[in-house]
Amino acid sequence: MNIVSPDLDRRFRDAAAQEGLLDAAYDLVDTPIGKLLVATTERGLCRIAYDAEPDREIELLARTFGVRVLRSAKPIDPARRELDEYFDGRRRTFDLPVDVALLAEFNRRVLGELARVPYGEVVTYGELAARAERPRAARAVGTVMNRNPLPIVLPCHRVIGANGSLTGYGGGLDRKEMLLRLEGAIL
Amino acid sequence: MVIPPFETFYAAHRDEVFRFLGRRLGRDRAEDAFQETFLRALRAYPRLRHGEHLRAWAYTIAGRIAIDEHRRPRADADLPELASLDGRPAFAQLEHLADELPPTERAAVVLRYGYDLDYAEIGAALGSNATAARQAASAGIRRLRRKEPQ
């Protein structure tokens, strides 16, 4: 054999994470709405991407968090477990720490309010803007939702238009609808 | 040249580095040395100033670890030590001497005379071929001779 065995490869990736040498670890997670690329720093979950082109995502992670980006299953296991439970309908809130330290203050404030929107409920962009004490910033809130680095865990799928339409979703409207249906927010 | 994400560096070089370690150490010891090589690379990675010669860099780390492994007494190992005049390992002396050479020549000289790689291996490490590696090593040696105090 003259290539690295999957076992040796996995042991290296585990050891790299175990020794705390990574700026960000990532892995792919299978869900009923497709494969997600999930990444974490030492501080918490930092990225969930739909339909990810891994090369592009890895570059982005390296630019944002540092060049020591490595695929490693173990650091992602807690997120994998909570996502599995969520999609099984056995989990309504995520207990995972999130790392949004590098986002702009406004984005953090809006995402903080978003995190408080309960499972199975929806709010409008305008309401969320009001909760973030920026009542006239519905459009800006839309932009924050569009750039949400942690969809599903930070539930931007629960934000809809003032007329009740689903409006838009980074992962595509089909997925927004599936998530809301899973949570019983729509029939 | 921008430093690539570690994943990209690792994926590009893991198999050839593993083959290299396998040739030097045999399969069993190569596995430990492989892990140590890339952990050491990962520790040093944030201190890199550019993304050039990363392949030669990976081989240099692997070569150093292979030498450390050789030195470790092992009942099942009968591999020769690299010769060194004053007890210091050859690669340590050379790396210092070769400091001022242009990067390709430096890598070729250190890998050839410090780590005892053959020219095909050096060519692979440098992303060229055996002929180019031989030329780079001799150019480096000529340059070192010129610098040497008479």
- Would you state the pLDDT for residue B88? 56
Are B104 and B63 within one domain? no
A120-130 pLDDT per residue, tens: 999 999 999 99
Q: Is pLDDT above 80 for B122?
A: yes
Domain end, chosen from B43, B61, B81, is at B81
- Residue from B40, B55, B79, B68 nearest B133 by CA: B55
Query: Percent of chain A having pLDDT more than 70?
Result: 99
pLDDT digits (tens, 9 = 90+) for B55-77: 999 999 999 999 888 777 655 44
pLDDT over threshold 70, residue B84? no
Question: Which among B13, B128, B72, B64 has a CA at the least distance from the CA of A9?
Answer: B13
**Does the beta carbon of B57 lie under 8 angstroms from any beta carbon of chain A?**
no
- Is the pLDDT confidence value at A167 over 60? yes
Full domain range(s) for residue B7 = 1-81
What distances in angstroms separate CA B140 from CA B48, B85, B101, B104, one per listed residue?
23, 21, 7, 9
Q: Is the pTM of this model over 0.80?
A: no
Average of per-residue pLDDT across A152-162: 96
Do residues B43 and B57 share a domain? yes
Structural contact between residues A43 and A101, judged by C-beta atoms closer than 8 angstroms: yes
Q: Which of B7, B15, B46 sits opposite A4 (nearest CB)?
A: B15
A165/A168 Cα distance (integer angstroms):
9
Q: Closest Cα of chain B to A76: distance in Å?
A: 16
Cβ of B34 and A8 within 8 Å? yes
- Spell out the domain ranges in chain A: 6-87, 105-182
CATH number assigned to the domain with residue range A105-182, chosen from the 4 options 3.40.50.300, 1.10.10.10, 1.20.950.20, 3.40.50.1820:
1.10.10.10
Picking from B65, B81, B97, the residue at the C-terminal end of a domain is B81
Query: Tell me, what CATH number does B130's domain have?
Result: 1.10.10.10
Q: Which active-site residues of A does the annotation give? A: 156
- What does the pLDDT average to over B117-140? 84
Phi and psi at A165, nearest 5°, equal -75, 155
Residues B64 and B107 in one domain: no
For residue B91, what pLDDT band results from cuts at 50, 70 and 90? low
What length does chain A have?
187
Pairing type for strands A45-50 and A159-160 reads unpaired
Query: Does residue B150 carry a pLDDT above 50?
Result: no
Q: How close A14 gets to chain B, by Cα (Å)?
A: 10
Place of tokens 């720093």: A41
Mean per-residue pLDDT of chain A: 95
Residues B7 and B58 in one domain: yes
Those residues whose C-beta lies under 8 Å from the C-beta of residue B4, and which sit 6 or more positions away, are A62, A67, B51, B54
What DSSP designation does B70 have?
H
What pLDDT, in 10s, does the model give residues A96-127?
999 999 999 999 999 999 999 999 999 999 99
Q: Does one domain contain both B17 and B47?
A: yes
Q: For an interface test with B, which of A21, A28, A55, A63 has the most B Cβ atoms less than 10 Å from its Cβ?
A: A21
Give yes or no: residues B3 and B14 share one domain: yes
* Cβ–Cβ gap B6/A69 under 8 Å: yes
Asked if residue B39 and residue B71 are part of one domain, the reply reads yes
How high is the pLDDT of residue A146? 94
Which of A68, A69, A71, A76 should one mutate to test binding to chain B, selecting the residue with the greatest count of B CBs within 10 A?
A68
The Cα–Cα gap between B130 and A141 comes to 59
Q: Are residues B86 and B74 in the same domain?
A: no
Domain co-membership, B3 together with B62? yes
**Which residue in B10, B15, B45 is closest to A3 by CB distance?**
B15
Residue B72 is classified by DSSP as S
Please state the domain count of chain B: 2
Query: Are A68 and B31 within 8 A, CB to CB?
Result: no
- The CATH number of A6-87 is 3.30.160.70
